[in-house]
């Protein structure tokens, strides 16, 4: 299948200033946190292989380079000035497809919550223009218009002064999210947020809190205030997989994190995330990540991951 390609849309002057500031913040490859808790960056001076993960609610803007993202059965290529926005935890995979030492891939990430978007929709009186249900997963790709890019630039400029950072970061984030909702993708996002089934959010939160325990669908359905059949249908419609498969991905990503941290072998990691059979763990790990645990960990340590994914209760951002 030929990948869909987002149309390039950076506004030259604004985008150049964003690139200049992002480059100063990312002197080396890897992830960079900032004095603004919800803002981070990533840099990679080389392309990467496909990395799988759980993408949590966030706005991810490509500043330089190109990426390929796989969402369910669709594949997207996108580059400078394009962004990915997710409004719920979603299993996905991606890779950096254009990067070099002279022109490394640089991405900017702003974490968000559906409640933040909903509050802005209400306060700004943004209208639901089309009540047609949004099909498929709650992950979208679009191009940042000039207003959105200006708001991102103002957020980065706050890092010049710690007092500005402390006092103005929250309001600057609200402006970024407001510009996102007022942009070309805004009507789709408004529709998605207003039609969002909070019971599926509750089910995902429950799975993240209990991923290392045996899963009983009946218990998950009760915790989500849904029938078993409704849970199975709506969960798969929102995430492209059933609850059991979602839990399996959470387990495997947590096991990978434990292995990368060191101090535990494959059998120990398998046990800590809820597997009773090390051989089953190894089979499923290889099926998802493409290599046995120790081989995969060795490869991962040699390069930065193309995206930051959160999969465990410790890393969970409360909705």
pLDDT in tens, 89-124: 888 889 999 999 999 999 999 999 999 999 999 999
C-alpha span between 306 and 304 (Å, rounded)? 6
49 vs 305: CA distance, rounded Å = 9
Nearest to 110 by CA among 158, 75, 66: 158
Q: Who has greater pLDDT, 318 or 2?
A: 2
Q: What is the pLDDT of residue 183?
A: 94
Q: Which tens digit of pLDDT belongs to each residue from 124-175?
A: 998 766 655 555 568 899 999 999 999 999 999 999 999 999 999 999 999 9
DSSP state of 308: -
pLDDT digits (tens, 9 = 90+) for 214-254: 999 999 999 999 999 999 998 888 888 899 999 999 999 99
* pLDDT of amino acid 318: 30
Domains of the chain: 4-194 (2.60.120.280), 198-301 (1.10.10.60)
Mean of pLDDT over the chain = 87
Per the structure block, which two tokens stand in for 296?
Answer: 């995969």
Dihedrals phi, psi of 61, to nearest 5 degrees: -105, 130
């Amino acid at each position: 299948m030929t990948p869909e390609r987002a149309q390039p849309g950076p506004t030259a002057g604004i985008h150049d200033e964003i690139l200049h500031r992002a480059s100063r913040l990312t002197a080396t490859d890897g992830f960079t946190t900032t004095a603004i808790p919800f803002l981070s960056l990533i840099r990679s001076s080389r392309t990467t292989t496909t990395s799988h993960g759980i993408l949590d609610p966030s706005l991810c803007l490509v500043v330089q380079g190109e990426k390929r993202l796989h969402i369910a059965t669709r594949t997207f290529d996108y580059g400078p000035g394009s962004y990915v926005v997710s409004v719920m935890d979603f299993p996905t995979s991606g890779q950096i497809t254009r990067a070099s030492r002279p022109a490394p891939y640089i991405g900017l990430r702003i974490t968000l919550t559906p409640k933040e978007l909903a509050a802005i929709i209400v306060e700004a009186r943004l209208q639901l223009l089309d009540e047609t249900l949004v099909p498929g997963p709650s992950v979208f790709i679009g191009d940042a218009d000039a207003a959105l890019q200006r708001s991102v630039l103002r957020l980065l400029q706050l890092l010049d002064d710690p007092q500005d950072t402390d006092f103005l970061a929250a309001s600057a984030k609200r402006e970024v999210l407001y510009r996102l909702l007022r942009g070309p993708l805004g009507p789709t996002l408004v529709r998605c947020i207003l039609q969002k089934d909070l019971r599926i959010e509750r089910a995902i939160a429950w799975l993240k809190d209990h991923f290392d325990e045996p899963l009983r669908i009946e218990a998950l359905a009760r915790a989500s205030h849904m029938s078993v059949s409704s849970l199975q249908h709506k969960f798969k419609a929102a995430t492209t997989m059933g609850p059991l498969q979602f839990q399996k991905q959470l387990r495997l990503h947590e096991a990978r994190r434990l292995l990368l941290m060191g101090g535990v072998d494959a059998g120990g990691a398998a046990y800590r995330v809820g597997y009773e059979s090390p051989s089953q763990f190894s089979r499923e790990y290889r099926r998802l990540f493409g290599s046995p645990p120790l081989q995969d960990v060795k490869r991962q340590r040699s390069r930065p991951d193309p995206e930051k994914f959160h999969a465990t209760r410790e890393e969970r951002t409360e909705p």
